[in-house]
Amino acid sequence: MKIYLAGPDVFRPDALQWAEAARKACRQAGHEALIPLDGVETTAAGIFNANIAQIRAADAILANLNPFRGCEPDSGTCVEVGYALALGKPVVGYLDSLETTVERVRSRLGGVTVIDGRPVDADGLHVEDFGLPLNLMLGIPVKLVAGGLAEALASFDKVS
């Protein structure tokens, strides 16, 4: 299977080394990795179009959905996941922990209070409380796996 690797890993200081390790892990699992860093584009529009082309060419998507620069997954990764879902492609997302959204907000954003039976963050905004590790728009259609790349790759034989 050709698997598009979505996630903020392209922003890591060791992104090229990460890409090689990810490519090797995919090969060992019998898959071909499609990695955004493989492109030659340097403009925003060029990178966007190249990534979309890779998603279209992929059989499935594997997405790093760990919190990035805050409490939620990387917004670009969310777009890629949504695009893949719209194309009917299977998506596996991985998180270090499958803690609920309420638990994550509580630990990362300074607490949660309950007002009228609903959890509320420090800014007074309601926190989605369906017992999912991510917003329902990701938590329902994406197969979520606790762990990292290896655990997500191992779950592909269970994706239908």
Note the pLDDT tens digit of each residue in 83-92: 999 999 999 9
User: Which residues, including other chains, have CB under 8 Å from residue 128's CB and lie 6 or more apart?
Assistant: 101, 135, 136
| Residues 78/138, Cβ–Cβ less than 8 Å | yes
Tens digit of each residue's pLDDT (9 = 90 or more) over 107-150: 888 889 999 999 999 889 999 999 999 999 999 999 999 999 99
160 pLDDT higher than 50 = no
Domain boundaries, the chain: 2-98+134-158, 100-132
Q: Is domain 2-98+134-158 in CATH 3.40.50.450, yes or no?
A: yes
